[in-house]
Amino acid sequence: MSVTVETGLRHGLTADEYARIEAALGRAPTIEELGVFSVMWSEHCSYKSSRVHLRGLPTTGPRVLQGPGENAGALDVGDGLAVVFKIESHNHPSFVEPFQGAATGVGGILRDIFTMGARPIANLNSLRFGSVAHPRTPYLVRGVVAGIGGYGNCIGVATVGGEVSFDPGYDHNILVNAFTLGVVQSDRIFRARAEGVGNPVMYVGSKTGRDGIHGASLLASAEFDADSESKRPTVQVGDPFTEKLLLEACLELMSPAYSAHLVGIQDMGAAGLTSSSVEMAGRAGSGIDLDLARVPLREEGMTPYDILLSESQERMLLVVRAGSEDVVRALFAKWDLDAAVIGTVTDSGHLRCTWEGRQVVDLPIAPLTDGAPLYHRPAVEPAPEEGARLLLRDLAEPRDYGHVLMQLLESPNLCSREWVYRQYDTYVGGNSVVRPGSDAAVVRLDGTQKGVAMTLDCNSRLCLLDPYVGTVSAVAEAARNLAVSGAEPIGVTNCLNFGSPEKPEVMWQFQQAIAGLRDACLAFGTPVVSGNVSFYNETEGRSIPPTPVIGMVGLLDDVSQRVTQWFKGEGDAIVLLGRNREELGGSEYLAVIHHQVRGPLPWIDLDIERRLIRTVLAAAREGLLRSAHDVAEGGLAVALAECCISNETGPPVGARIELESGLRPDALLFGESHGRIVVSVRRRHLTRLRELAHRDEVVMTSIGEVRGQRFEIGDLVDLPVLAMRERWRSALERTLAGRLGE
């Protein structure tokens, strides 16, 4: 087939990029070589619009064993152990085919973790859907949730937390971001490098089919249009039972009994065999020769092009020591998996592929990796919209605050997510000690007293109004969510979801988000050790709200010191740590009750946030806290209500709250000021808590006590907690069922 610039354009390349390919090769590429370039230079694989900005993030620290550049990041947690974690997007596939798109997103992030030698112990997910009133939303929600549960439950890794949000900005482009954390001996982390000239390259796992071809270049790296439904063939099909076999076989190969046979290992994820072989060679400064006729296939008539670009799931690429081939084959045969020698490590610095005796690919590695295009795209701050700033004097105050609180508790973004997470196995593996429903998930580290806490956070409405402050706020909220769980924040992964980088206003949003991520992570001492950029999240020119999802991991030296958000006992004192401010910009109250999305955003001070976290962690370690809960979406009234009604294993409890403030009542109850945490303590511990707060210069106010079966705030709110909990817990299921006509 004759390859021309028009062929390159159909592969998602620009005319300039095609010219660069011809200049690098001194000739026109073959169709197979063009396919390799198209996926390796895609936005999804090359990060050509984001690399220049990502370099400014803090990625080092005393705990960092592996930062960005490998399949996942790794942090030392002591006792000879490391945690390995990462978050990845699977947005476009999940919109096109929600069940398989979400399922294979889970499968892919799991492989990123166990390819490092770590056993996955926890999954989380961050999901963004359109308005619940959109006719397609219930279908997408059900498909995505079923896909996540179907894959995670079958493979036997607990899904322990996450977040779900609804916004009309995602009506035509949902987000499915998947996070996995695993545990490994800190001196037994494996990396993806093709080292040792003459060492064999082995293919292991499922056979290769045609599913997923051009998933990285033409699905994940392009915006949607009216024909997006036709892209279903580019969505991969997952098999969690095969993945379970692959996981166990790979971890056995990495065990002390077999690890001497293994040199390098990488998941065949986005761009499949192409990206895994090119990236392994690129990291090692080596070359790879592949015989594509040796690749195990499940379909007849596949071409070299198909084989190179297939994104079939549950496959790994290994480099093993020469002479170890039979040992590796036998090990994978024990797990009923294919294992075939398909190539050799060379010192050529080239990827060379043959097919039935003829060479179809001969490409230098460097232009495919470090030499990929790097764009400094223009960024322009969009002009502010007229009337975009909120004036409180123009906002009518509610007549019935109890009614408003119930409206918020039943709103799609604040109601219970129980309908979602009860479809997930949250206990499998036996390490889950705090499941979904509190501020952060907590899992036990086997063989130690330690625990690891995890959270995913992003308020995209804040990021839409101000991407810098919104991203800082997401990092701060994540840190608070860990602290109120008793965990010290130690590291970050991120999934940066944006529209087209070719739009200057989107690029400005991205740059501002990166700056906010950098500044906040520096302030909290939480290095960014892994992550993902997902551009082109838009349909027919409509971009999603900027959504920089923050995954943060925290450490508990003693897992028995974990804290949950719900009130525990009658008579306990309720305390607010932090200061209330008269701020309603960007709030859920403003959006749900007044149907407005406006700023200015709540004021945030990272020094105050650090001191607040220090106080809460000290109180948790001393065993003072009966409960602790971050004040975030919905404001103080919603946070207090959640403390009363969110305990699934026991009855709801009431509270009597008295708030003295000169603030207007709706701002006091529903404003989303930062730097606030609600805790409950036994009364005898109030003095010690006050001492800790005074030490850290944190404002502390006693605001009430746990009592009875009613939720009362002064003379503004008086509601029965049983009714509150029932309506809060059932709201999401009722809403989705109503939209489906059930």
Give the ranges where 485-605 is alpha helix by DSSP (H): 504-524, 588-594
Picking from 153, 158, 150, the residue whose alpha carbon sits closest to that of residue 122 is 158
Residue 742 amino acid letter: E
Instruction: Report the distance separating Cα 500 and Cα 221, nearest Å.
Output: 9
Is the four-CA dihedral 311, 313, 319, 324 of positive or negative sign? negative
Neighbouring-strand partners of residue 166: 129
What residues have CB less than 8 Å from 640, skipping those under 6 apart? 574, 655, 657, 678, 711, 713
- Residue corresponding to tokens 């991120």: 494
Q: In sequence order, what E strands does 347-439 have?
A: 350-355, 358-364, 432-434
Burial environment of residue 263 by CB neighbours within 10 A (0 to 12, 13 to 18, 19 or more): buried
The values of phi and psi at residue 30, to 5°, are: -70, 170
Instruction: Report the distance separating Cα 545 and Cα 506, nearest Å.
Output: 9
Pairing of strands 451-457, 547-556: antiparallel
The values of phi and psi at residue 503, to 5°, are: -95, 120
Looking at the annotation, which residues are catalytic?
A: 44, 90
Are 537 and 649 in contact by the 8 Å Cβ rule? The answer is no
Instruction: Report the distance separating Cα 736 and Cα 165, nearest Å.
Output: 14
Write out the two tokens for 528: 């960014």
- Long-range pairs for 254-259 at CB < 8 Å and ≥24 separation? 254/117, 254/188, 254/190, 258/327, 258/331, 259/188, 259/190
Are 617 and 696 in contact by the 8 Å Cβ rule? The answer is no
